[in-house]
Amino acid sequence: FPITSQVQTAQLTRKHYGITSPISLAQPKEADLVLTQKLIETLRPFGVFEEELELQRRILVLGKLNTLVQVWIREISQAKNIPSSVIDNVCGKIFTFGSYRLGVHTKGADIDALCVAPRHLERSDFFSSFYEKLKEQEEVKDLRVGSFVPVIKLSFDGIEIDILFARLALQTIPENLDLRDDGLLKNLDIRCIRSLNGCRVTDEILHLVPNIENFRLTLRAIKLWAKRHNIYSNILGFLGGVSWAMLVARTCQLYPNAVASTLVHKFFLVFSKWEWPNPVLLKQPEDCNLNLPVWDPRVTPSDRYHLMPIITPAYPQQNSTYNVSTSTRAIMVEEFKRGLAITDEILLNKAEWSKLFEAPNFFQKYKYVLSCISCWTLMVRINHFNKDLFLKTAPTHIHSPFTITILCNQCHQFEIKAEFCIRSVYAYGVQHNVLFQNIFCVQHKKET
């Protein structure tokens, strides 16, 4: 893992990144490079780095998938009586986004992919004929269509892949196509624009950081820290992967010459003192005159109530943290402050990096726990205080998961038995706020 030298970083400051001037252009010192190497060694046991052999396997699988897309597009083109002269040149392409595209995926992580096709292919073709073509492949297992998001999910030679679909208003898809081009969005339906958004945001992030390798190493550290401290979850009101990536990218913009050890410390410094709800922006929002809804509290009243806005850099700009609540923001700010205190000690050689990644003892910290049980079953049996509780649920014709909520003193254990299948169990630590005479869920832990 390369560590950028002073000569290399001096060249990086020629370009201005972000919407403000950098806070510091200081070059890394020898001590910073040593601390960065120590950070790498601390991260290794957590499996955040993938072996080169496994990485090559992923590249091979994506290559096979891309070839499969090319064959499928030609077959569909022939079936739709497209002229032979066009079929000879028609192409599609598989793009990646998310953690794999950012270069921060962990061992065994899935790949988020996007199938981009020319204008004569329909979305229905993707979910019918391409689905059937995938089913014919020996390497493909566990093939299914997503329940809530229009996506094909599969395991290709042991690698989990989620594939979205978008068709562009182009006769063919060039090999060197840059999805950041806003002109590609013209004449597209909203479903294709949404599918393109993941790739466009990921590519913009990589183009808006001064040093990609320093950004990647810092992001690996921050993502691990967030997961260890139970604040990595967009669904539960914390931050998801793209939000953490944008916070790290903003830190890199403010300290363009810093190496990862410094950037991790500056990350906690910046966001422990950030004056929310001032938004985090990687670039000035641009209006492409396509009349798509964008995040703008001056125009959209609901945007004014977002508590921790982190705005995606690609048009149409959106707030990636709309699920954040008052309590979850308070949790994250408190964790930022703790992270700053620990990294202060690390920079002074009073602590090791391992201290930053120590998981807090959730069940010792909170006296009361709010347990939410999400399941598909029709009856759940709960044993609490040696008594059996039976909770009946929705009628049999409802095929959606339901949630049972129990508030209890965490020192009293309870046993859960389901007639069929428990989907997941969430535990929330609860504190009583004397001032507001209210109850806030202030921490969570997901148990599989």
| 9 assigned to a ligand binding site | no
Q: Which of 32, 112, 203, 303 is catalytic?
A: 112
| 355 assigned to a ligand binding site | no
CA dihedral 224, 229, 235, 240 (to 10 degrees): -30
| 242 assigned to a ligand binding site | yes
Q: Which of 99, 320, 327, 371 is catalytic?
A: 99
| 106 assigned to a ligand binding site | yes
128: tokens are 């019918």
Q: Which of 223, 243, 303, 428 is catalytic?
A: 223
The sign of the dihedral angle between the CA atoms of 35, 37, 41, 47 is positive
Cβ-based neighbours of 188, under 8 Å, separated by 6 or more = 166, 167, 168, 169, 196
162 flagged as catalytic: yes
| 69 assigned to a ligand binding site | no
| 428 assigned to a ligand binding site | no
| 223 assigned to a ligand binding site | yes
Q: Which of 100, 232, 315, 426 is catalytic?
A: 232
Distances (CA, A) of 73 to 59, 90, 197, 202, 365: 21, 8, 22, 26, 56
Distances (CA, A) of 392 to 376, 381, 419: 12, 9, 11
Q: Which of 129, 133, 155, 162 is catalytic?
A: 162
322 flagged as catalytic: no
Residue 31: CB atoms within 10 A of its CB come to 12
181 flagged as catalytic: no
| 227 assigned to a ligand binding site | no
| 97 assigned to a ligand binding site | yes
99 flagged as catalytic: yes
| 429 assigned to a ligand binding site | no
Please give the positions annotated as active site.
99, 110, 112, 162, 223, 232
Q: Which residues are annotated as a binding site for Mg(2+)?
A: 110, 112, 162
Q: Which residues are annotated as a binding site?
A: 97-99, 106, 110-112, 162, 223, 232, 241-242
Q: Which residues are annotated as a binding site for ATP?
A: 97-99, 106, 110-112, 162, 223, 232, 241-242
